[in-house]
Amino acid sequence: MTTLLLFGATEGGLFDFDATLPLMAVQVVLLTFILNALFFKPVGRVVEEREAYVTTSRADAKQKLAQVEKLEKELRDQLKEARNSAQKVIEEAEKDSDQLYREALALATAEANASREHARREIDSQRDAALNQLKADSDKLGDLIVERLLAAK
């Protein structure tokens, strides 16, 4: 207790209302204003800026995501249309090639028939010529035989 008296403390009760209480109140208020000005406002400003940045970034991300989904849908539609177009082109090409094949087959068949008919006519004419030649030769041979038989008598 003697040490307290040396520092200027007076003996009294638990609650002495002298000049220290208002001084402490002024110190607390002053410290609150200083801390608020030096630490809490800048930290609050940084937190608000970060929150605003996060909010705008999130809104931008949602907007970009919506654009990406829209573009993805458009690309899917274009891909579907391209596949349909390609399928139609393939079907048309198959039809055209089938038509060309049939035409070429018909032309080849017609040429083969014409060639076969020409060959048949040529064979018939050669056969007729050979038969005529054979008939002429047989007539000559028959005449020669008759002539030799008559000459031998």
DSSP letters for 23-72: HHHHHHHHHHHHHIIIIIHHHHHHHHHHHHHHHHHHHHHHHHHHHHHHHH
Question: Taking the chain, what is the end-to-end CA distance rounded to the nearest angstrom?
Answer: 195
> Tens place of pLDDT for every residue, the chain, 153 residues?
444 444 455 555 555 566 777 888 899 999 999 988 888 888 888 999 999 999 999 999 999 999 999 999 999 999 999 999 999 999 999 999 999 999 999 999 999 999 999 999 999 999 999 999 999 989 888 888 888 888 877
pTM recorded for the entire structure: 0.46
10, 16 Cβ separation under 8 angstroms: yes
Residue 39, by phi and psi: left (phi above 0), alpha (psi -120 to 50) or beta?
Answer: alpha
Structure token digits, residue 109: 């068949």
25, 31 Cβ separation under 8 angstroms: no
Which of the 8 DSSP states describes residue 7?
A: T
Structure token digits, residue 133: 């030649």
14, 8 Cβ separation under 8 angstroms: no
pLDDT digits (tens, 9 = 90+) for 59-98: 999 999 999 999 999 999 999 999 999 999 999 999 999 9
